[in-house]
């Protein structure tokens, strides 16, 4: 466990603006250590979670999700700064939207709002055991490029929202490859209107530099930050044209976005 803090001290001596090519051997070694610990930790949590899901212990499963999310950042020696806690009203249910830059986006959001119904890729629910665990947490599968199935998934999200669950979705649909937020898709607008949900925009900073989709190694030199923006009221959005809602939502996230 002391290897990670010591590597972080060495890497902190090099500015984040430096090209990682000189540091690649160090970053790859650090990544292999971190991945080894994270995958081992995840395997334990998943096995326990699957057992608990078959026992229908949903609250314990939710606690396990929260501990897993926190544990991933602990194992890589990173802290996530959160700005805007006051914008989350835990007595109400919302639709959370965020920019999507890294595999660590989901656990980052789960550390601040653990009881979520996520909309994500369909193939995950087809994994034996793990799919049952996801269903226990009201996971909503969606298949890109399949309009009919996507409409069914949005309908399921609306049902969950009406049952009192907070829904989380990445409007871009996939992780950015260049660090810039991509165009937003309008699926979240249907959920917002049909379930009468207020929208909380969330900006994730530093996660693209940490681990983008198109790079193997983790670069832990940057700061990780979650910015929770003021709520976008449903009553102010629902009667606007879709293009205007997309513009407002995207601007809310992008104005606080920092590449590093």
How confident is the model over 149-207, as pLDDT tens digits? 667 777 877 787 777 778 889 999 889 999 988 899 988 998 899 888 999 999 999 99
**Number of domains composing the chain:** 1
Q: How many CB atoms lie within 10 A of CB 43?
A: 10
DSSP output for 105-127: HHHHHHTT--SEEEEEEGGGGGS
Whether 260 is in a domain gets the answer no
Residue 143's CATH number: 3.40.1130
- Output 130 or 245, whichever has higher pLDDT: 245
Average pLDDT, the chain: 85
Q: Token pair for residue 248?
A: 């407002």
Within 13 Å of residue 103, how many CA atoms lie on the same side as its CB?
12
Whether 163 is in a domain gets the answer yes
Q: Token pair for residue 94?
A: 């919302």
Is the pTM higher than 0.95? The answer reads: no
Nearest-CA neighbor of 20 among 2, 103, 29?
29
Asked whether the CA dihedral 8, 14, 15, 18 is positive or negative, the reply is: negative
DSSP β-bridge partners for residue 122: none
Residue 131 pLDDT: 66
1 has a pLDDT exceeding 60? no
Whether 66 is in a domain gets the answer yes
**φ, ψ for residue 206 (rounded to 5)?**
90, -15
**φ, ψ for residue 41 (rounded to 5)?**
-65, -45
Whether 138 is in a domain gets the answer yes
The residue range of the domain holding 66 is 3-254
């Amino acid at each position: 466990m002391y290897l990670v803090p010591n590597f972080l001290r060495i890497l902190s001596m090099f500015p984040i603006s430096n090209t990682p090519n000189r540091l690649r051997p160090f970053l790859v070694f650090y990544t292999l250590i971190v991945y080894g610990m994270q995958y081992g930790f995840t395997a334990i949590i998943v096995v326990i979670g699957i057992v608990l899901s078959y026992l229908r212990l949903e609250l314990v499963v939710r606690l396990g999700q929260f501990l897993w999310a926190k544990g991933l950042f602990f194992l890589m020696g990173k802290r996530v700064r959160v700005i805007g806690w006051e914008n989350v009203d835990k007595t109400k249910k919302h639709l959370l939207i965020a920019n999507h830059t890294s595999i660590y986006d989901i656990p980052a959001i789960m550390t601040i709002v653990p009881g979520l119904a996520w909309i994500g890729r369909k193939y995950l629910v087809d994994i034996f055991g793990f799919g049952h665990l996801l269903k226990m947490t009201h996971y909503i599968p969606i298949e890109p490029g399949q309009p009919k199935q996507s409409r069914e998934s949005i309908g399921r999200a609306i049902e969950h929202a009406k049952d009192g669950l907070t829904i989380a979705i990445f409007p871009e649909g996939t992780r950015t490859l260049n660090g810039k937020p991509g165009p937003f898709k309008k699926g979240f607008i249907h959920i917002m209107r049909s379930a009468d949900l207020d929208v909380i925009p969330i900006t994730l900073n530093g996660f693209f530099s940490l681990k983008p989709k198109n790079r193997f190694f983790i670069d832990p030199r940057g700061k990780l930050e979650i910015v929770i923006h003021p709520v976008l009221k449903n009553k102010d959005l629902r009667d606007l044209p879709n293009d205007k809602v997309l513009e407002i939502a995207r601007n809310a996230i992008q104005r606080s976005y920092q590449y590093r």
